[in-house]
Amino acid sequence: MKQIIIPSVLHDVFGKKQSLVSIFTILLFGGLLTAILYWMYPEMTSNLPVWRSALSLLLIFDIFAGCIVNFTLSTSNYYATRKRNRIVFIAVHFHVVLIGVLLNTAIGYSIGVWVYTIVGAYIVNSLKGKQSQLFVAGLLLSIGLGCTPLLPHIPPYILITCLLFMLKVIFGFAVDHYSKKL
C-alpha cells in the first residue's frame, strides 16, 4: 500500500507514514462504532447539555479509533523509538474517566478501569525488548476483559468503552508490536 507522509502535528497519532487505506479504516471503525453505540443507547446522552454529549462522543471515538491505529506499523514504531513520548502518552489517557464524568454514569467503574489500565500499561511498557512483553500484555488484557463485564449494573455503553480502552492502552499502545522491523 502506498504510504503518505503524515504532518508532524499528527505524528503522535499516526506516526510518520501511514497508508490512506489504514487512515480510512481507522476513522471508519471509530466513527461507525461510536455512531452505533449512540444509536443503540441514546439514553447515554439524554438530559445532558450538547457540549457534554459531543465531548463524550468525541472521546469515545478517540478510544475506538485508537484501538486500530495503535496496531499500525507506523504508530507502533514511532513510539518504539520515543520512550518518553510513550510514557507521557500513557499518562494522558484519562479519557475513560472523563467519559464517566461527562455522562454522569459509572464514574467509580471508570476510575477503576482507568487505574487498572494505566498500571497494566506501565508494567507492559517496562517489559519492552523482553520476550515476556506480549504474554504479560495478553494476560493483563484477558484479566481486564474477563472481569469488567462482571461489574454489577455497568451500562453497556460504558462496558464497551472500558473494554476497548483496555485493548487500546494495555495491548495496542504499550506493546512494541514491530520491534524486529525497526
pLDDT score of 111? 97
H or E stretch covering 147: helix 132-147
pLDDT score of 182? 44
The domain segmentation of the chain, as residue ranges, is 3-181
pLDDT score of 9? 84
pLDDT score of 176? 85
- Cα separation, 62 vs 59, in Å, equals 5
Residue spans of the chain under pLDDT 70: 180-182
Q: What is the dihedral of CA 33, 36, 41, 43, to 10 degrees?
A: 90
- Confidence (pTM): 0.92
- Using CB atoms within 10 Å of the CB of residue 79, give its burial: 0 to 12 exposed, 13 to 18 middle, 19+ buried: buried
Report yes or no: 48 and 103 within 8 Å, Cβ to Cβ: yes
Question: How is residue 137 written as a grid cell?
Answer: 500484555
